[in-house]
């Protein structure tokens, strides 16, 4: 009889525990996408060797286009964070439009960054595809990117494509 009461009590405790857990709301952080144009900036490459590199956005005399994406993130799931970034610079601030392909993508210092708990994370030089931009007004650009990213041969992996379209805006300066 004592064993039966113990089993019933154990069952009730597990049931109550499940009820409490199901009543707790899981915190989920929403997806974020930003499209910015940074005036009077430049991209500085920090090359460690032939494989590893990093870059910084510094003060300069160009426009830097900066796309950032952060995927939805569940607080209760470890290592599910994922984000990516694409940056490139333009010399001409007065152009009404631009088309970057081939060597002009390399000249624009176009980089792709993937940050995640995955094997192919890191920084990549963008060496293929196209970036098309059209100036909408003094502070706004419509940009379409259809990019090909080739992993470093030493790490293996297959080339992959990234397509992004968005309206890039020059942020308002704080007074």
Residue 153: DSSP 8-state: G
pLDDT in tens, 143-163: 999 999 887 766 667 888 999
Residue spans per domain, the chain = 28-169
Q: Which residues of 35-44 are buried (b: 16+ CB within 10 A; e: fewer)?
A: bebbeebbbe
Q: Give the dihedral sign, CA 95/93/125/132.
A: negative
Residue where the block lists tokens 């500085």:
44
pLDDT in tens, 9-20: 555 555 444 444
Q: What pTM was estimated for this model as a whole?
A: 0.79
- Alpha helices, DSSP H, located in 32-172: 103-107
pLDDT at position 4 over 60: no
Dihedral pair phi/psi, residue 105, rounded to 5°? -70, -45
Q: 12 exposed, middle or buried (CB, 10 Å; 0-12, 13-18, 19+)?
A: exposed
CA distances from 68 to 5, 33, 114 (A): 58, 6, 10
Q: Give the dihedral sign, CA 48/50/51/54.
A: positive
Average pLDDT over every residue of 133-150: 94
pLDDT in tens, 63-104: 999 999 998 877 776 767 889 999 999 987 778 999 999 999
Q: Give the chain's end-to-end CA distance (angstroms, integer).
A: 77
């Amino acid at each position: 009889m004592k064993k039966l009461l113990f089993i019933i009590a154990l069952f009730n405790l597990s049931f109550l525990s499940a009820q409490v857990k199901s009543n707790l709301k899981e915190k989920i952080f929403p997806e974020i996408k930003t499209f910015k144009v940074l005036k009077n900036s430049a991209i500085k490459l920090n090359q460690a060797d032939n494989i590893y590199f990093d870059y910084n956005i510094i003060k300069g005399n160009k426009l830097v286009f900066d796309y950032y994406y952060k995927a939805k993130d569940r607080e209760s799931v470890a290592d599910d964070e994922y984000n990516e970034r694409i940056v490139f610079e333009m010399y001409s601030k007065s152009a009404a439009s631009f088309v970057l392909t081939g060597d002009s993508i390399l000249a624009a210092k176009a980089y792709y960054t993937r940050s995640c708990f995955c094997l192919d994370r890191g920084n990549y030089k963008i060496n293929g595809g196209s970036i098309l931009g059209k100036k909408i007004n003094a502070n706004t650009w419509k940009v379409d990117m259809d990019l090909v990213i080739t992993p470093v041969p030493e790490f293996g992996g297959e080339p992959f494509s990234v397509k992004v379209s968005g309206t890039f805006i020059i942020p308002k300066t704080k007074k």
